[in-house]
C-alpha cells in the first residue's frame, strides 16, 4: 500500500470514530480533513488536554477508525447522524452528546411564479432546495419517497425544473 496515497485519501472530508470495544463506547466526529482532525485528537489525548475526560481515562482501550469518506459538504452532519444511530443500535454509548446532530425537515414553499420548492430546513433555519415542481402532488410524492422518515443522505430531484433551477444558480455565481 502506498503510504502517500493513504495519507492523501485521509486528507478529505469524512466521518471517523474513536472506539472502545471493551466498554462499547464510541466518540464520533465529522471533518473536512479527517487526517488533520484525527491527528489533533490523538495529540490532545496523548497530552491529556482533550475535553472528553473519559477518553483520557480509556486511552489504552481506544482505536481510531475512518468510517466514511465524503465528497459533499452538505452531507457530513447527516452522515454523522447515520453513524450515531448505527452505533447506538449496536448497543454503544456515545462518549459525548452531539449538539451538532443535523435534523432537517422537508417543507414546501410556493414561489411567486407558482413553482413548488421542496426545501430541507434545519433548526438554525438553514435551507437547502432539493426539488422544484409544477404540481403539488409531484412535490409531496418526492417528499414521501425520499424524506418520509429519518434520512441520512440528501437526495435531489432529477427532474427538469430542479436542473434548470441549479443551472440558473450556477450562471449567477
Asked if the structure places residue 117 within a domain, the reply is yes
Same domain for 112 and 152, yes or no, is yes
Look up the domain containing 87 and give its range: 3-94
Q: Name the grid cell of 93.
A: 454509548
Same domain for 77 and 17, yes or no, is yes
Asked if the structure places residue 99 within a domain, the reply is no
**171 by DSSP, 3-state: which?**
helix
In DSSP terms, 105 is beta-bridged to 121
pTM beyond 0.75? no
Query: Has residue 160 got a pLDDT over 90?
Result: yes
Backbone angles phi, psi at 45, to 5 degrees: -65, -45
Asked if the structure places residue 87 within a domain, the reply is yes
Q: Name the grid cell of 120.
A: 430541507
pLDDT in tens, 6-59: 666 677 888 999 999 999 999 999 888 889 999 999 999 999 998 888 999 999
**74 by DSSP, 3-state: which?**
helix
Same domain for 73 and 132, yes or no, is no
| 56, burial (CB in 10 Å: exposed 0-12, middle 13-18, buried 19+) | middle
Query: Has residue 170 got a pLDDT over 70?
Result: no
Cα distance between residue 83 and residue 30, in whole Å:
10
Asked if 63 and 19 count as a contact pair (C-beta separation under 8 A), the reply is yes
Residue 18 has a pLDDT of 95
The whole-chain average pLDDT of the chain stands at 85
What percent of the chain lies above the pLDDT cut of 90? 46
Asked if 132 and 122 count as a contact pair (C-beta separation under 8 A), the reply is no
Asked if the structure places residue 100 within a domain, the reply is no
- Strands of the sheet with 93-94, listed across from one edge: 62-69, 14-20, 25-31, 93-94
Asked if the structure places residue 53 within a domain, the reply is yes
pLDDT in tens, 121-142: 877 777 888 999 999 999 999 9
Same domain for 32 and 88, yes or no, is yes
Q: How confident is the model at residue 91 (pLDDT cuts 50, 70, 90)?
A: very high
Same domain for 11 and 66, yes or no, is yes
Residue 113 has a pLDDT of 93
Residue 73 has a pLDDT of 64
Amino acid at each position: 500500500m502506498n503510504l502517500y496515497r493513504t495519507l492523501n485519501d485521509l486528507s478529505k472530508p469524512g466521518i471517523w470514530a474513536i472506539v472502545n470495544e471493551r466498554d462499547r463506547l464510541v466518540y464520533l466526529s465529522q471533518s473536512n480533513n479527517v487526517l488533520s482532525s484525527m491527528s489533533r485528537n490523538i495529540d490532545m489525548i496523548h497530552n491529556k488536554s482533550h475535553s472528553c475526560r473519559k477518553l483520557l481515562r480509556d486511552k489504552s482501550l481506544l482505536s481510531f477508525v475512518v468510517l466514511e469518506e465524503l465528497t459533499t459538504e452538505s452531507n457530513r452532519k447527516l452522515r454523522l447522524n447515520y453513524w450515531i444511530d448505527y452505533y447506538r443500535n449496536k448497543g454503544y454509548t456515545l462518549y459525548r452528546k452531539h449538539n451538532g446532530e443535523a435534523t432537517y425537515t422537508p417543507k414546501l414553499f410556493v414561489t411567486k411564479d407558482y413553482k413548488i420548492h421542496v426545501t430541507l430546513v434545519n433548526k438554525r433555519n438553514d435551507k437547502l432546495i432539493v426539488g422544484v415542481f409544477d404540481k403539488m402532488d409531484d412535490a409531496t410524492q418526492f417528499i414521501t419517497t425520499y424524506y418520509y422518515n429519518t434520512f441520512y443522505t440528501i437526495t435531489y430531484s432529477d427532474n427538469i425544473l430542479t436542473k434548470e433551477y441549479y443551472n440558473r444558480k450556477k450562471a449567477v455565481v
